[in-house]
Homo-oligomer: A and B are copies of this chain.
Amino acid sequence: MDDRATQAYHLLEETLHARNVDVAAVRTALKQQEIETPSWGYADSGTRFGVFPQSGAAVTIAEKLADAAQVHKFTGIAPLVATHVLWDLPDDAAVESVPALAASLGVRIGSINPNVFQDREYWMGSFGNRNPAARRKAVDHCLRSVEIGKQLKSGVLTLWFADGTDYPGQSDFRERKRWFQDCLHEVYAAMPDGMTMLVEYKPFEPGLYHTDIADWGMSYVFCRNLGDRARVLVDLGHHLPGTNIEHIVAFLLDEQLLGGFHFNNRKYADDDVMVGSINPYEFFLIYNELVKEELNPRGNPKVEYMVDQGFNTKKKIPGMIQTVLMIQRTYAKALCVDRVRLAEAMGNHDVVAAEQCLLDAFNVDVEPLLRRVRAEMDVPEDPLAAFLSSCYQTGIERDRGIRTGAGGLGQ
């Protein structure tokens, strides 16, 4: 850190001390942060109107891991990579090759993501399909995913279902609920002790009239029935307009049932744009609830922080680094809330002062603090600039060019 950065850091430190923030603890927390990026985030993606393949986009699992490793190399806090069974691990050879590959790149395998929506058998659903053969195939794929998880020493099985219907009358809600329950039970029963099942919810798409696990409440009910290693996965884009997500997060934490996140943001539908890019304050308020649980734990198990975004018009690795920095910044701000003054303001029903505590933390420029933390972690103080001045991006654009075949939503 140069003189100006040091001076800025000390000024910030003084400000934070005056706000009752334990800056040393904040730095420790920031150094322990771990974010999981998705293998498919390095491959092409698009909308139903088309996919524009990007030069240098990853196709193979080796490329995806290499790209993810770049994100970790420059940020220091993204050591985990989510893998997608169908797209990344089509056969035993792929599975076997992954651990050494990941280790050599300095990253670890995070959650295992089965895919039960792409094959033709799933046209009318997977766990909610009236046809027992389709349900069988879907369960078998998930059971295989559990096995892969064991092999890759992954502790997290992430389940998202595209099941739903397009029209009233197309199917029966209750029958489907029971099929779902049965299938989930079979998969849950096969999980080893250390494995957690995360159950994702989503209000619509690809089903245009209903989806079988439409909101956190449905996810909650399925998890409660399964057992204590099943927990709710909150994808930030999977909510109807107006939803108070931080309230749901607090509620699930209190129920000890918050399993993890898919970070992204939405303006209209499930847009999968960068987390915090539409409403960074909402993202801060969500982190504020997570920090409250950290400071005052009531027993919710470890939360998984996963990115799930598409990069349709952004370059993928720079976009992912920008994302990781957005998450880091937001966590830092949430750690900088003056909780003494906030408690006092709440106690006095002083709404102006209480809100201002949050706004003050949100408005603080935490960059000097983050630069200090990065220096201590031995990563570049400005990770995005550092990545861009490395020759990695130009190298992959030159060497890989424009291709297809990565699976994913841009196949």
Contact = CB atoms under 8 A, between A and B. Distances in A.
Interface of A: 4, 7-8, 11, 14, 46-50, 52, 117-118, 120, 123-124, 130, 162, 165-174, 177-178, 203-206, 208-210, 214-218, 220-221, 240-244, 246-248, 250-251, 253-255, 267-269, 271-274, 277-282, 285, 288-289, 292, 298, 312-315, 318-319, 322, 326, 329, 342, 345-347, 349, 351-352, 354-359, 362-365, 367, 384, 409
A278 to B, nearest CB: 8
Given A47-B205, A50-B117, A267-B209, A358 B169 contact: yes
A46 B49 contact: no
A170 B313 contact: yes
Given A130-B347, A169-B358, A204-B271, 12 more contacts: A8-B11, A49-B117, A169-B354, A171-B346, A203-B244, A208-B267, A215-B217, A217-B251, A240-B241, A240-B268, A242-B267, A318-B352
Given A49-B409, A298-B174, A314-B166, A356 B322 contact: yes
B281 A280 contact: yes
A74 B211 CA distance: 34
Given A118-B50, A244-B209, A168 B268 contact: no
A358 B177 CA distance: 21
A52 B162 CA distance: 13
Contact of A177 (B52, B254, B268): B254
24 contacts: A47-B48, A50-B206, A124-B313, A130-B349, A169-B346, A169-B357, A170-B354, A171-B346, A173-B251, A178-B254, A204-B267, A204-B269, A205-B268, A208-B268, A208-B273, A208-B312, A209-B267, A209-B278, A216-B217, A217-B220, A268-B269, A278-B282, A315-B351, A315-B352
B329 A363 contact: yes
Contacts of A209: 244, 267, 273, 278
Contacts of A272: 208
Counting chain B CB atoms within 10 Å of each CB, which of A8, A221, A342, A358 scores highest? Answer: A221
Contacts of A171: 346, 354
A347 to B, nearest CB: 7
Contacts of A130: 346-347, 349
A29 to B, nearest CB: 20
A281 B292 CA distance: 24
Contacts of A319: 351-352
Counting chain B CB atoms within 10 Å of each CB, which of A118, A247, A251 scores highest? Answer: A247
Nearest to A241: B241
Contacts of A357: 169
A245 B226 CA distance: 25
Contact of A48 (B48, B210, B277): B48
